Each structure stands twice: as C-alpha cells, then as structure tokens.
Amino acid sequence: MTREPVLTFTENGIYCPAGDFYIDPWRPVDRALITHGHADHARDGMGSYLATHAALPVMRHRLGEIAIEGIAYGERRQIGGATVSFHPAGHVPGSAQIRVEVGGEVWVASGDYKVIDDGMSEPFEPVRCHHFITESTFGLPVFRWAPQAEVAGQINDWWAGCKAAGKTAFLGAYSLGKAQRLLSMLDPAIGPILTHTAVENTNAVLRVQGITLPETTLVTPDLALKDHPGALVLAPPSALGSQWARRFGPQESAFASGWMALRGVRRRRAGDRGFVISDHADWHGLLWAIRETGAENIYVTHGYTDIFTRYLNDQGWNAQVVPTQFDSDGGDSE
Amino acid sequence: MKDFAALFNAVDQTTKTTVKVAALAEYFTTAAEEDRLWTVALFSGRRPKRAVTTTKLREWASEASGVPLWLFEDSYAIVGDLAETISLVLPPVESEDTGTLTAWINALRGLKDEDDAARKAFVLSAWQQLGGTERFLFNKLITGGFRIGISQTLMTRALSRASGRPEPEMAHRLMGNWDPDDVTWHSLIEAEDASADASRPYPFYLAYALEDGPEALGTPEDWRAEWKWDGIRGQLILRDGDYFVWSRGEELMTDRFPELARAADHLPPGTVLDGELLVWQPGAEFPSSFNALQARIGRKTVPKKLLKEAPVVLHAYDLLEWQGADIRDRPFAERRALLEKAAADLPEDAPVRLSPQHQFTDWSQLATLRDTAREAQAEGLMLKRADSPYLSGRKKGDWWKWKLDPLTIDAVMIYAQSGSGRRANLFTDFTFAVWNGNDLVPFTKAYSGLTDAEFRQITAWVRKNTQQRFGPVRQVTPHHVFEIAFEGIQPSPRHKSGVALRFPRMLRWRKDKPLQEANTLDDLKEMLRIYG
C-alpha cells in the first residue's frame, strides 16, 4: 500500500500534493511557503507567500508589493490535507525550517541553516521528523567553524591594525544576514563604521523590526573620508576591488565567508584577508542537526551533495541527492 | 616554528608585495641563521628529503581524524593541497612552545632510519602538538611545494634589503643546486668569494610579450631578430671539464641530454650558453615538433633507441660566460659576436648550433617573416636590442617575444568539472566539441582564459544545466560556444577526434554565437592538414 509522498521534488521546486503548495519554488506558482528572504529562496512572481513574521520586512523590501502572510514560529496551520509549521533555522533573522505533516508522517524542509547561536537570528531548533531535507553547502570534513567570539577577535584586531597603519579596513560580506551579524561582532570603540547602500538598506529594515545594530554611516557621494579616520567599510563582496572601493584611499581588504576556510579560495577572492564565518552549518553542525531530527530518510540539496550523501549512506541513513536550481555560487550567497 | 608561522601568515595575509618583502626582510634579519637558510631553501623549492610517503600521510590523517579514506581523498581533491587538507580535518589544538623550524626539519630527517611505526608515532604526535598554521607548515615540510605568493624576485629583493647587497647578485647566489646542508647563511648570502659549485647557472633573462607591432620600438638597426623556437629554454654550462644543462625552471637536466656531453669537445671550459633545446633530425631544415621533445623530457635516463629517434641539439642564442668570465654586462651585439666566433668551428654534427639571426631593414619585412614562423616550427620572433646587457628575470624594454597569433576554433562546451585549490568551488575544467554531422565530437579540454566573473557565471549555469553526472564530471546541455585558441595541432590516434592541440585555452566566450555555428571536425582536419 504505497501512498503519495508528503513532499515531492518537481521542476518548480519542493511540492506538497496534500496541501497544493511549494516550498522555496524557483518558478512562479500559486502558493509558496518561503524559508527565508535570500534571493535564491524567495523569488518573484508567486501568487501568494507565507513566511515567518520576522522574514516579512526583508521580503517586502526585496520583492515589493506581494501577497504575503506572516506566521509565528511554532504556529500550526492547516493547508488542505497538510499541517504546516515554521521553526527557527538560525540562518538569518526570520529564517525557518518548514515542517509538513500529513497523516502522521512528518517531513522537514530546512532551507539554509546553521546550528550555532549568532546572537541575532532565532537559534536553530531541531525538529523531529521522518524525512529531512538538508543543504550541504559545507558538507565536507574540512569545514569546521571556530567560535564566533574568536572570529570577532580576529576581525577587530585586523581593524585596529589597519587603523594604526593609517589604512581603511574594507570588509566584504553578503548584505542580508552576514553583514548584520558582522556588525554585531564589531567593536565600535575602534572607529566609525561606514556602510554601502546595499548593506545599509537591509540594516534599516532589520532595525525597524527591533534588531539592535551598532551605529553606522551610509557612504554618500559627498562623504569626506577624513571626517572618519580609522573607519571600517562594510560592503557587498562585489564591491571588493571596485571603482567604488578606491575612494577609501590606502586600505586593506577582507572577505568574510565560510569559503575562506580554504586557502585557495581565500587567495582568489579575499584580497588581503579572509575571515572564516558562515551562516551555514559546518560538517559537524550538519551531522548533529541530522541526528537530532531522528529522521531515517535524508534528502541532500545544494553543495557537496554527492559526497555528503555517500557519507550519510555509509553511516546507515537512507540518503539521496535532490537536484536543485537554487545552487548558486556559495561564495556570494553565504 | 612560531616565528616561521608568523612570517608565513604575514606574507599569506596580504596581496601587497611591499608588505611581503618587508616581512621577509625582517625575518632574514632577526631569525636564527639556520632558520633563515632553511626558509630561503624552502621558498626556492628545496625541501628536506621526504621521510614519509604521502600515501602514509593520507592513511594516518584519515585514521587520526576518523574521516574515512575515500572521504579524505574526495576532500583533498576539492581543497587541492594535501598539507592543508590534513591540517583541516584534524581536530583543532592550540600550539604550545614548539621549537624552531630547523629542529623540526632535523627531526623529520631523523626519521629516515626509523621504521614505519616510529614515523607514524612522530607524525601523529606532531599533529597533536601543532595547531593552525604550524600544523599546515609541518605538513608542507613533508609534502613540499611552498607556493605562497613569494616569487624568486620578491625573495631576492628581501635578501638584498637584509644583506645590503644588490638584487642581481642575490639572484645569482640563489641559483643552482646548493643544499642547505652544505652551505651556511654566511657562505650563501654574505661571503665575498661566492665560489660556488661549478654547476651554478645564471638567472635567465626573460622577455615580455610584444602586444602591438614592433614599430614603437624605434629604428630597426638597433634591434636583432631570431626565431622564437618552440622547445625548452636551457643553459649549457661547461666548467672544469664537466657539463651541466639547466632548464629555465631551474631543473638540472644534464642526464636527460647525454648528447650534449660532446659540446665539451668543441667548446673550451669556462663557457656558458643560453639557448633552446630542440629535437632536430640530421639534415632536416627545421626542428621536429614539440611533441618529439616531450618524449625526451619525460625520460630521466634515455634509451639508445630514443636517443637516435629524437636527437636533441642546443640552438645557442647568447653567451653568458666566456673564458671563465661573466660577460652578461656586455652589449648583446658583442656577446653575439663572441658566440659566433666560438661557434665558427663547430662541425655539422655537433650538439650545439648557432641560432641564426634574421637580416632585416624595416619592420614590415620582419612582419612578413613572422607570418612564416609556423613553417619553421617556431612560435614567432624574438627581438633583442643590440646594446642590451643580459639582465636577470623578466624585465621590460630590451627583449621582446613577438609571437604568432594563435590558431582558433569555435567549439561547444559539453562537459564540466570543478577545479581545485584556488578554484575549489567553481567549474573551471571544460571539455569542448566540434560538429560531425549532427554529433558533437570532443576534441580538447581547456582550463584557463576566462575571468573570475565569467567562471562564476558559467558555474551557476553548469549547476542548472547538468544532464548527467559521471563522478566529478558533469555532462551539460550543449549550448555555449567558446573560441578556443591553441599554438599547434598534431595527429593523435588516442583521441576520438584524431587530433591533439598544444596549449589550448579559452580565448573568448562567444555568447553571440549560436550552437549550430560552432566549427566542424572537417574544419579541424583542415587545420591539421595545413599546420600539423
């Protein structure tokens, strides 16, 4: 007696037949449940959106006038034959794992997640389930994150060193999530913090919803650098080495990303320094999260899917690779 | 080891050469002399004799980290560096006081008389003591290959600053096959009489590519022109009755070219020649293709049969030492005149020949000549200023290589594979095909030529357009056309297409070109007929 799976993997994305909805679809559909506001998960053109209350402001900011409804973490909602609820994924503020239950069978689509508390995002909560859909962006044993405080120390030391050498510290990071996490780690006593428009726009959205960030100054065309000695500039990675970056005079550049764990990538992408900090789980974080769900069936999406899946199968899980379209270059979107 | 790790970090964490040189110069002034000497040795590609095989290292790292061997190997393929992979998979530790670089090197060298169990115990204990960069560097001492963005030029500059001696002198002192066991910091860097080993070569003078025509160089009379041969650049040293052959990669290749021994019959000791090693059949008008030479390079000892099939000659184009005196400061025209004199009496079958200079009175004449380079198995022309000294390293101004435009063909990308190291999270290795009727026939791979931004763009595309996976290789939807540039084409029975290309790379991403307009196998065969 086979029955239809609770979630299936279709051309449009993850689909729930019982509830007739999609999770993070990459093509326009009628009803979309969204794990978080990053561009590769929350796309334009859906008939309606459902996301956590905390994810709404960023999504509205990015997608404009959309039919979107908010839901509280843990709130259970019936959609057709499915019961759905959203649970913290710890990836960025407002990010969620989506739990879908049909006839007693529980699936969890975790979107992107990290298992350590960054002090800003709602911390990851394991959700018991039978089927777990996991990412594997950093699904190799070479990825192991140092405690956040240690990385904060490295970044602040670097900034203080730049300041002492009369240089601007130019730090590249993804505008939504990573940039604000870095802001919360910076020591404002060292000097002023200047921001690129892309970063400042997200700051504004998150501040309105009650997230505390240190004081920042938006870089405008008439901003005089000499009024901000010892500044740190926070900008999207694409601004590293750009024309825009040149206005900050003598500078050292750095890039903050999990990819900076690899020396080769660091040398290709980072300019001078690379700080290893990610909003995705590292190897041990992924394995811990999977164990905590109690799930036997694991579906592995973007990242080192083949290798990670093989390892899970070796360890006794029933794991398989799930093709995905939101498999973007982790270097920028993480 | 802490000082050395601090130096490594200082150099690795900046892209600015001034900062790198300052950090090195500081280290070469303050560190213990034996550590300095080893640092120079390591950064110039020397390393202690390998005491442990990399196979063992992998096994032990797998065991110590609890990571299955296949997973370790897969991780290594992505990281691209064994020393780094090991240091990343092992649990982190905080280093205590860890002793000097030289002490670690000596301990490693002491392992050669130990059995495997003792070696393993030593390595595992080192991994437990050393954290972060120090663990990585310890592994590097075993695996070799300190590619850390310090060119020989930068190290020479730092040594020059630390010692107060000129850079060219430092460059020369570092050449050749010195061993940190046989020299001291003083004898290598400071001693007045740098009476080195007889095999010590001079630093090669390297030319820049001439991007536009030669008209901007001035009057033709001031310049000399030769073929730019498609062989291996080499330095032949005749000193004390011995001969030595160095590649420009500073590899001693004497044993690979036994036929050059006979040069000593015709040229006096105290002679150093700069030239091109080429396979040249007796009586042939032009050298054989690079492929023929490749068979020779691959062999450390050369069987008689191969020696006969692919005889090597040195086509000399410069004279660096004559009658025991370093003459690199003299004008090229003068060195060349001496070279011609020295070569005047060489018999036809001597393994050294004079690389001819071309006569020309205006640049257009030279341009016409350059167009025929392929027929002479040459890559183009070399232009050298008549009054130029023989400098060291790549310098602009006096020497130029004026290469032929590459051959090109428009091809369809059909497979993609991710890179390693610097390109770990990008698809960078592609297989290309040309049309044969309605089929696409693969004919070459290419890895380089795109910008980082283009690699990122094609990577995103590959992920969305994968049709099938074969291990790390992805078959993609035929869609993108690339202009592939290459230097030469040869028949090859081993390839489905029947051809092999020399130096293939992506010249341009032809986003304007529809799939159907890519070139055909017939086009490729026509190129083989003309240029093969």
Q: Which residue of B has its CA nearest to A310?
A: B71
**Pick from A261, A329, A331: CB nearest B88:** A261
> Chain B: nearest CA to A274, how far in angstroms?
8
Helices (H), B111-176: 116-129, 132-143, 152-163, 167-174
Residue A158: helix, strand or coil by DSSP?
A: helix
Q: State pLDDT tens for residues B49-103.
A: 888 999 999 999 999 999 999 999 999 988 988 999 999 999 998 877 778 999 9
Contact A285, B39 (CB under 8 A): no
Q: How far is CA A23 from the centre of its chain?
A: 16
Contact A297, A131 (CB under 8 A): yes
Q: Which domains does chain B have, with CATH numbers?
A: 2-143 (1.10.3260.10), 205-403 (3.30.470.30), 407-531 (2.40.50.140)
**DSSP per position, B427-469:** EEEEEEEEEETTEEEEEEEE--SS-HHHHHHHHHHHHHSEEEE
| Residue from B392, B400, B415 nearest B474 by CA | B415
Put simply, the answer to whether B425 touches A261 (Cβ < 8 Å) is: no
Residue numbers in A near B88 (CB within 8 A): 141-144, 261
The fold for domain A148-275 equals Rossmann fold (3.40.50)
CA separation for the pair A157, A227 (Å, rounded): 22
Put simply, the answer to whether A272 touches B14 (Cβ < 8 Å) is: yes
Q: State pLDDT tens for residues A193-202.
A: 999 999 999 9
Put simply, the answer to whether A331 touches B421 (Cβ < 8 Å) is: no
Q: A213 vs A120, A159, A184, A203, B467, CA distance in Å?
A: 10, 18, 6, 8, 45
> Chain A: nearest CA to B486, how far in angstroms?
26
| Residue from B230, B515, B532, B494 nearest B407 by CA | B532
Put simply, the answer to whether A331 touches B456 (Cβ < 8 Å) is: yes
Q: State pLDDT tens for residues A158-183.
A: 999 999 999 999 999 999 999 999 99
The pLDDT, as a whole number, for residue B349 is 85
Put simply, the answer to whether A329 touches B464 (Cβ < 8 Å) is: no
Q: Is the ipTM of this complex over 0.90?
A: yes
Contact A157, A127 (CB under 8 A): no
Q: Which residue of A has its CA nearest to B89?
A: A142
Contact B134, B15 (CB under 8 A): no
**Pick from A142, A252, A323: CB nearest B88:** A142
The pLDDT, as a whole number, for residue B220 is 93
CA separation for the pair A97, A76 (Å, rounded): 13
Residue numbers in B near A143 (CB within 8 A): 88
**Pick from B75, B424, B459: CB nearest A141:** B75
The pLDDT, as a whole number, for residue B466 is 86
Q: Which two tokens stand for residue B294?
A: 């490749």
Judged by phi (left if over 0) then psi (alpha if -120 to 50, else beta), residue B457 lies in alpha
CA separation for the pair A111, A324 (Å, rounded): 12
Q: Which residue of A has its CA nearest to B9?
A: A273
| Residue from B331, B444, B428 nearest B389 by CA | B331
**Interface mutation target, options A268, A300, A301, chain B, most CBs of B under 10 Å:** A268
Contacts of B118 (CB under 8 A, 6+ apart): B111
pLDDT exceeds 80 at position A323: no
For chain B, the average pLDDT equals: 90
Q: Which residue of B has its CA nearest to A146?
A: B92
pLDDT exceeds 70 at position A334: no
Mean pLDDT of A6-11: 94
The pLDDT, as a whole number, for residue A106 is 97
The pLDDT, as a whole number, for residue B103 is 94
pLDDT exceeds 50 at position B15: yes
Q: Which residue of A has its CA nearest to B466?
A: A323
Mean pLDDT of B294-320: 89
Mean pLDDT of A228-252: 90
Contact A331, A166 (CB under 8 A): no
Mean pLDDT of B159-166: 91
Q: A124 vs A94, A100, A112, CA distance in Å?
A: 11, 17, 11
Contacts of B211 (CB under 8 A, 6+ apart): none
> Chain B: nearest CA to A78, how far in angstroms?
33
**Pick from B71, B420, B469: CB nearest A311:** B71
Q: How many CA atoms lie within 13 A of B194 on its CB side?
A: 15
Contact A233, A168 (CB under 8 A): yes
The pLDDT, as a whole number, for residue B273 is 97
The pLDDT, as a whole number, for residue B251 is 80
Put simply, the answer to whether B424 touches A273 (Cβ < 8 Å) is: no
Put simply, the answer to whether A141 touches B452 (Cβ < 8 Å) is: no
Put simply, the answer to whether A330 touches B149 (Cβ < 8 Å) is: no
Q: Where does residue A222 rank: exposed (0-12), middle (13-18), buried (19+ CB within 10 A)?
A: exposed
Band (A2; pLDDT cuts 50, 70, 90): low
pLDDT exceeds 60 at position B477: yes
Q: Which two tokens stand for residue A199?
A: 């970063």
> Chain B: nearest CA to A236, how far in angstroms?
15
Put simply, the answer to whether A264 touches B75 (Cβ < 8 Å) is: no
pLDDT exceeds 50 at position A329: no
Domain with CATH 3.40.50.10710 in chain A: 148-275
Q: How far is CA B291 from the centre of its chain?
A: 17
Quote the percentage of chain B above a pLDDT of 90. 57
Q: Which two tokens stand for residue A196?
A: 């690129």
Contact A128, A110 (CB under 8 A): no
Q: Which residue of A has its CA nearest to B15?
A: A272
Put simply, the answer to whether B423 touches A264 (Cβ < 8 Å) is: yes
The pLDDT, as a whole number, for residue B532 is 74
Contact A194, A231 (CB under 8 A): yes
Put simply, the answer to whether A331 touches B425 (Cβ < 8 Å) is: yes
**Pick from B71, B85, B425: CB nearest A265:** B425
The pLDDT, as a whole number, for residue B195 is 56
Put simply, the answer to whether B88 touches A144 (Cβ < 8 Å) is: yes
Put simply, the answer to whether A265 touches B424 (Cβ < 8 Å) is: yes
The pLDDT, as a whole number, for residue B166 is 86
- Count Cβ atoms below 10 Å from residue B479 Cβ, excluding itself: 12
Contacts of A221 (CB under 8 A, 6+ apart): none
CA separation for the pair A241, B347 (Å, rounded): 59
Residue numbers in B near A269 (CB within 8 A): 452
Residue A56's φ and ψ, nearest 5 degrees, are -60, -50
**Pick from B71, B89, B425: CB nearest A329:** B425
Residue A28: helix, strand or coil by DSSP?
A: coil
pLDDT exceeds 90 at position B374: no
Q: Which two tokens stand for residue A324?
A: 């995905």
pLDDT exceeds 50 at position A32: yes
Q: State pLDDT tens for residues B251-291.
A: 888 889 999 999 988 999 999 999 999 999 988 899 998 87
CA separation for the pair B96, B112 (Å, rounded): 26
Q: State pLDDT tens for residues B414-455.
A: 999 987 766 777 899 999 999 998 899 999 999 999 988 899
Q: A112 vs A40, A104, A246, A255, B88, CA distance in Å?
A: 11, 25, 34, 20, 23
CA separation for the pair B476, B479 (Å, rounded): 8
Give the gyration radius of chain B's Cα atoms: 26
Put simply, the answer to whether B423 touches A268 (Cβ < 8 Å) is: yes
The fold for domain A8-142+280-333 equals Metallo-beta-lactamase; Chain A (3.60.15)
The pLDDT, as a whole number, for residue A331 is 37
Put simply, the answer to whether A140 touches B78 (Cβ < 8 Å) is: yes
> Chain B: nearest CA to A157, how far in angstroms?
13
The pLDDT, as a whole number, for residue A325 is 61
**Pick from A142, A314, A329: CB nearest B75:** A142
Residue B137: helix, strand or coil by DSSP?
A: helix
Q: How many CA atoms lie within 13 A of A298 on its CB side?
A: 28
Q: B351 vs B251, B252, B281, B316, B503, CA distance in Å?
A: 20, 18, 11, 10, 28
Q: Which of A210-214, B310-314, B399-403, B509-513 has the lowest mean pLDDT?
A: B509-513
CA separation for the pair A103, B409 (Å, rounded): 60
- Count Cβ atoms below 10 Å from residue B352 Cβ, excluding itself: 22
The pLDDT, as a whole number, for residue B194 is 54
**Pick from B15, B78, B88: CB nearest A271:** B15
Q: State pLDDT tens for residues A120-161.
A: 999 999 999 999 999 999 999 999 999 999 999 999 999 999
The pLDDT, as a whole number, for residue A265 is 85
Put simply, the answer to whether B81 touches A263 (Cβ < 8 Å) is: yes
Put simply, the answer to whether B460 touches A331 (Cβ < 8 Å) is: no
Residue numbers in B near A268 (CB within 8 A): 422-423, 452
| Residue from A255, A295, A296, A258 nearest A277 by CA | A258
| Residue from B141, B143, B139, B142 nearest B89 by CA | B139
Mean pLDDT of B106-133: 92
For chain A, the average pLDDT equals: 92
Q: How many CA atoms lie within 13 A of B526 on its CB side?
A: 8
Domain with CATH 3.60.15.10 in chain A: 8-142+280-333
Q: A321 vs A3, A297, A330, B469, CA distance in Å?
A: 21, 11, 18, 12
Residue numbers in A near B464 (CB within 8 A): 325, 327
Q: State pLDDT tens for residues B167-225.
A: 888 888 888 878 888 888 988 888 876 556 788 899 999 999 998 889 999 999 999 99
Contact A94, A212 (CB under 8 A): no
